[in-house]
Structure 1
Amino acid sequence: MASSKPSCSAGRPVAADGRADAVPAPAGVLLPPDAVYEILLRLPAKELCRLRAVCRPWRALLSDRAFADAHAARHQEPLVVAGYATHTSGGALYDVLDLSGRVVKRARGAAVAGAGRTENEWVVSARLDLVCAARGAGVSCALLSPAAARARALPQGLAEEHAAHEREISHHAAMVALGQVAATGERKVLRVLHLFPGTARQLYEITTLDGGDGGGGRSRWRRIKDPACPVASGTWAVVDGAVFFFSSELVHGQDAMPDRVASFDLATEEWAPTIRGPLSSSSLGDDGAAAAAGHPDDHMGWGELSLADMNGCLVVTHRTVASSMDLWFLMDVEKASWVRKYRMQLSISYRHAEHTVRPLLVLNDGRIVLVHIGNRGSLKIYDPRTSTSTDVADIGPCVAVGLYNGSVLSLANGF
């Protein structure tokens, strides 16, 4: 009976295009290299990582970037990035998890350039397959690549026009958003810095990655024009090359809630006029009077509002004291048209400081991936058909979340 043990002596160098000229067939089995290649492409990433230990030719193939990209194209399940503050997570900076809750990559602290092992680091955001982390008591930030296991420091200091405010920065309140201009592919980072003590003053700065700021090939922070009203801190989203925030603007006779949305265009580097939010739009008639009974006058009674990018659409989430959460999708920016597509019941007690639920995406089968951010954070999947949520994994004291769409094989190989 022929042995099914893979032959480790028949391998040839991996072809430049990643095809399996070099894939050894199991001993005694007459399979063409392309057939073995196709079989391996169909296996889950977890099993392929184990097969790397079989022999050198298989390790060479399964560690090849072209194969990893081909495998990722066949297995397009997104991964979740859960970011932490190192002083509360035992030194972990972020985890990359699959939707079964398995950690496929863990990064430790001191990833930001210049950070010492005893200096606090925390994740600010995760987007475009990069993790943005800040360190210490300053505004120093870096973009980390989970696949490449390397860091790229963002420019140090402030924009030249803001240099006089360096000692006034409330460091831990900075909002840092990474986005991409669709027409050019340029990646830009917008940050909002808050001044203290107790002022509503904000500084708005932007930098273009890869030396696009006119600074002799080196990126630098540039001042951008302030919006008409300051933006609200704590939540933002990036969709189609625009960064969205809640605005502090409250238009009398139009806004029943502080849900008005401001947006910044990364291509033109200009602020667009604010638009009325979904709750105000749905609760007010054309004459500005309340169109539905039972709406409390006190805004705090409305619960928690946050912004999210879900499947390429801007979403406002509204979570109430009763643990109900509505997802409002922006359908038309010009008309400020919103549609409530989901109303979910979540078995989480409501507390602003400890419990924030962020929706990440809608899966092909209609289920919704959620992350509960807090001291006892968790990864959840909600099924609208049964109105139930399943706890997939405990993720601990998470402070930021995002999606990673790269290859699992690349993460495991440390590309």
Structure 2
Amino acid sequence: MMTMPAVETYDTVVVGGGPAGATAATDLARLGRSVLLLDKAGRIKPCGGAIPPRAIRDFDIPDHMLVAKITGARMISPTNRRIDMPIEGGFVGMVDRGPFDEWLRQRAASAGATRRAGTFERLDHDGDGVSVVHFRPRDGGPDATARVRARTVIGADGALSQVGRQAVPGADKVPHVFAYHEIVRSPGAGLADFDPTRCDVYYQGPLSPDFYAWIFPHGDTTSIGTGSMKKGFALRQAVADLRRTTGLDACETLRHEGAPIPLHPLKRWDNGRDVLLAGDAAGVVAPASGEGIYYALLGGRLAAEAVDEALHTADSRALAQARKRFMKQHGRVFFILGLLQRFWYRSDWTRERFVGMCRDPDVQRLTWQSYMNKELVRAKPAAHMRIFFKDVASLCGLARP
């Protein structure tokens, strides 16, 4: 009589090997948990690639992973006014998501996680009530399938998370910005307005009616992209227009990518039993800026802590701690950035005034301090008060935009 091979069982199966999934797998493996990291090989998310010093410190990102160090940003208004925002005494690191994400996955494997390349298909439970993860291995045929048992599952499989849609109520109802970018070979010194140490951010309706477009240097390469919530907006054409007007249309295009970016955190990250979401799957991308790498790294770490606690105590309520801890640390920032995006990005009139505010020294200092350290700056109430009154003046049209 032929016996069926035993199905492998893991403490945790992590679906998705981006910053959130790879970090969760690393931390859990270091805690002695058995971990399977399941990832679609070759997938690269469209991303500006910026990581603040807080991320570099907290997640031990080595210097060799930084392909550029940005020392300032330039904000370009609808009337083409340009406002420079230099970083005083610091920098923003830039990474290329292809090599960076693979380095994170390799770190997870070095910590003891098992890696497999494959596509998640579905979740169910066996007779013992243990989750079974079904996936299609990359190295198998078109009809090949595999399955593993998982005491817990972390869904870190992106904004349209299949894990979330199958297991977590409300995971399919979050609005998204759709982002598209082209990676080009960086121009040489002949392009006068290109600075390899500066990020350019375009707040212009034709390039994005409700978000922004960007030019972010990555050392040898540069990301040129845009995003919008509006269905039918021609993202590729907007990028082509941006490249043409900046002279970057002459640069060699190396690859292009598109993907949805969630606009705010989900109200619930777990299913109350054995599934927890992290990263884009949980909606942790900062409104207004679209920044996600730091929040994904942190979300992965908090997911690992919550899963480890749930496994240790056999109490699934511990899974909810991931969201509670994240929102306690960053919920206020996300709320403020959400208000900023909804108001200042709604028209070229408001965008013009928003860019005008960015020339203010108080705005620049507080913006960079908050961004670099990932916390609101509370030590300068006078500066906050000045910014408030300047905001009101701009809103009422009483100040020069």
Q: TM-score, normalised by structure 1?
A: 0.25
Q: Which structure shows the bigger proportion of residues in strand conformation?
A: 1
Greater RCO structure (CA 8 Å; 6+ sep): 2
Which one has a bigger Cα radius of gyration?
1
Q: Which structure shows the bigger proportion of residues in helix conformation?
A: 2
